[in-house]
Amino acid sequence: MKFYIPLLLLFYAVIPVSYAQQAKIITASDLIKLQHKEQKVQILDVRTLPELEAGIIKGSINIDFFKEDFSKKVLKLNPTLPVVVYCASGGRSAKAAEFLKLNGYSNVYDLQGGFMNWKKNGNPIVYIK
Residues belonging to the active site: 87
| Residues β-bridged to residue 109 | 24, 84
Cα–Cα distances in angstroms (integers) from residue 73 to residues 17, 19, 109, in the given order: 25, 25, 18
Amino acid in the structure at residue 129? K
Q: 3-state SS of 43-73?
A: EEECCCCHHHHHCECCCEEECCCCCCCHHHH
Residue 34, Cβ neighbours under 10 Å: how many? Answer: 16
